[in-house]
Amino acid sequence: MKPGLNIGDRATFRRVVHADEVVPRLFADARVMDDMPEVLASAMMIGMFEWACVEQIAPYCEAGEGSLGIGFELSHVAPTPPGLTLSVESEVVEIDGRFITFHVRGHDGQDMIGEGRHRRAVTRWEKFNARVAAKAARARETEEMRHG
C-alpha cells in the first residue's frame, strides 16, 4: 500500500438507491420475501458502506492490490425507498498494518439510516485468487469423492 492514508481521513460517497436493491428483490429465489416492503435491503446498505470504503482506499493501493471486507458492526435504523440518494460518510479510525477500520454513516437526505464500524484488509489479488482457486479445487475433489 502506498503511504498517505491517515487516521482521521474522511470521504463522502453518494449513490441513488435503485429499485432492484430493495428487500423483495434481494434474492430471486427467496419467495418468503416477496411481500416485504420496497425499501433498501440491509445487505445493499452494507454493500454501499463497503463501496464507500473501497473508494477511499483505492488511491493508496499498489497495482495488483485491493481490499476485502473482514468485519462489520453496523446498524440499519431507517427505511430508504428507491430513488433517494444515499450519502455515506467514511472516516479512517484505525490503521494496523494491512488492516484499516472505518467509522461509516449513511444518510438518505431525510434520515440517518445506519452507521457503525467496517474493517478491511489490504491484500494482493494474485495471492488471494490462488487461495480461492485452491479452495474451489478441494471442494470439487470432495464432491467427486462423495459421488464417486
Instruction: Copy the grid coordinates of residue 34.
Output: 416477496
8 Å CB contact between 140 and 91: no
Residue 133's pLDDT is 94
DSSP 18: P
Q: What is the CATH number of domain 10-123?
A: 3.10.129.10
Who's near 81: CB < 8 A, 6+ residues apart? 17, 38, 39, 40
Rounded mean pLDDT, 3-27 = 94
Which strand ranges, in their side-by-side order, compose the sheet holding 10-16? 10-16, 85-96, 99-107, 112-124, 65-76
Half-sphere exposure of 71 (CA within 13 A, CB side): 13
Rounded mean pLDDT, 12-26 = 93
Half-sphere exposure of 39 (CA within 13 A, CB side): 10
Model confidence pLDDT, tens digit, residues 92-141: 999 999 999 999 999 999 999 999 999 999 999 999 999 999 999 999 99
Residue 26's pLDDT is 83
Half-sphere exposure of 135 (CA within 13 A, CB side): 6
Model confidence pLDDT, tens digit, residues 26-68: 888 888 888 889 999 999 999 999 999 999 999 999 999 999 9
Residue 85's pLDDT is 98
